Structure 1
Amino acid sequence: VSRALSQFAKRAFSSTMRGPTQPPGHRLLPLKGVTVLELSGLAPVPHCGMVLADFGADVTVLEKVRRLARPVKHDGESLDSRLNRGKKTAVVDLKKPEDVKRVREMCRTADVLLDPYRPGVLEKLGLDPVQLLQDNPGLIVCRLTGYGQDGALSQEAGHDINYTAISGILPTIAGTHVRKQPPWPPVNLLSDFAGGGLTAAFGVVAALFHRTTNGNKGAVLDVSMTEGLAYLSTFINMYKDLDYLWSVPFAAFGSECPIYRCYETKDGKYMSVGCLEPKFTQSMLNVTGLADRYSIADVHANAGEVVKELEAVFLRKTRDEWANIFEGKDACVAPVLEMEEVGNYPHHRDRGAFIRDEEGHRWLPRPHPRFYSKEELEERKKSKL
């Protein structure tokens, strides 16, 4: 079997297989012409590669032989392929000197190499970034790890919850002042994909732009998911001393505030309430019928009581009934949607914000932000007349 896989790797190395089709909606592709090599790894790096591909980059995934030989599947679909839309795929065995040599040759003409490994692995494989930049001075090597390329934790294993924990942001996510409870992470979104994949993609784009002003010199990017998330949390760091926002019972962003939280509805679904400003608070009180009982000042002075009242009020109607009632009221109140529903939500449908994947299994968010040329903006204005 080992010999067969080895031969297969050699035959398949230069072949390409398209991943799931890139979502439509892009007419301007600002990264068209950028060549990216993505070493296969855990989700943050494939996510970075997906973002670059969505905006026009030519991304080739260098897939490990064993991952291709025994792919993990769900409902007949390879889980490894889900972030491979718009990418090419080539098979590589980096334990073989000839394949390492081929990858190094590919790096000579590439713009970007995405590295998902722990610090030092590239060097051990014979793909030392210093040597790669000697071969190709314009190459951008993006190294994405949980803790960064150096430091006491650089070789430690970790996951999103661990990176989020030591970034300092985890305790601020859920309120713990009214009811003492452990902090909880908002799925594996913050460190892996915001502090990780998206931060790495931004770093790549910044480095590509820098090449236009520095004589086409590349760079090695040290992207730490922990530090990326910490940077994303700059607003919280800068305003953490404002107790009424974070620290006191029923603080605005502590998840316990009566006018910044979610309420269950009659059908077991939820409505989000975010009416922090007085005019929006008043609008919410008017719509819910509580304006004759509570003033804006009462909402803050009697927060616990107001929470109970609003809990009872929202339980009287279904989520969709409340959504219809609040439509056009400018009260900062919106329905909580499941992923299976987002594409049918009227606002998203109007903008074409979500599209079905090829199999029709799920709604995919359209790549964002959107790019429009002057001519396209003129066309859009005419179509709205």
Structure 2
Amino acid sequence: MSQHAQSHSSATPPEAVHTVQPQPSPSNIKRWRQYLADERAEAAVYRDLAQNREGEERAILLALAEAEGRHEAHWLALLGDHACKPKRASARSRFLGFLARHFGSVFVLALAQRAEGRSPYAKDPNATDAMAADEQIHEEVVRGLATRGRNRLAGTFRAAVFGANDGLVSNLSLVMGMAASGVASSVVLLSGIAGLLAGAMSMGAGEFISVRSQRELLAATRPTQITLAVAPKLDLEHNELLLVYLARGMSREAAEHRVAERMGLVSCDCDPSLSLQPELPDAEDRHEAVGTAWGAALSSFCFFASGAIVPILPFLFGLTGVTALVVAGALVGVSLMATGAAVGLLSGTSPLTRGLRQLAIGLGAAAITYLLGLLFGTAVG
């Protein structure tokens, strides 16, 4: 080895050799930049949602945004100088951001739940195990937040979806059957209007009775506070207070402890889990997931009517015959896809799958009614 080569070799610190990082491949750069853009977009979604929340929910959403920021830093470190050109977030992330900024509804949380559940980090060798675990935990956190909104919507939303779908399917079937029997278009239109009014009234009344009955049934199962009033007067040796708590499903140990508290026989709680819990005020609605009777009835009436008017729109605008039926079927098909997708979004499942299911059921029922109308018209003729 020459003296010049020796001097050059000795001038190079040994640790410098180990700090040279291989250049990432173009495919890695592309993928990491996409991850980086999506992490930034998801963090922005959580921050936007937090602006419309307060208290604990706001703190949770901001904590999620902070976690996405840690993931962002990971991809920034891997990209190095290659991160200088920001990439657009995926269409799904941009759509979530738009909804979060303008609506901030439970549907956004349901979509975010699905997005967290489909994270590719578990299979990506460049993502850390902690990042993959974070995404799984995030899905559960968002599921919990979405559940609060689902509980607030459940009763009225159920009536709305059922009402709209019943209106779409039943009135389309009615219109199809009447048209297939060979009656005039004016008769088909009048039949559709009659079906709309009759069905909307029936759905509204049915939902009112159903929800009111369900709430009354639930209210009947709520324990009363009679034990507070009569406990001081009971015979210490012979009373059935223990049976009350056993009947409510308590363990014998918990029931005996509760009896002792009611009778004033204990002055301290050795096990806090057995002690009396503060009673909820009567004004609190314990059945919010069921919804109110009037709210369910009104939603059911309005949404049935809004669904039932769709099949008769072509006839209202002067279309007749096969053209009117085809247009009615197309309009109802789009509406069924929309309601199915809404259910899918709210439940955290695939909107497309739920939409196609609604479409198949609705158009299948209409096709059967159309065939029956043909048979009826032929028999009468």
| TM-score when normalising by structure 2 | 0.23
Larger Rg: 2
From the two aligned structures, give the one with the greater helix fraction: 2
Higher relative contact order (CA 8 A, sep 6+): 2
From the two aligned structures, give the one with the greater strand fraction: 1
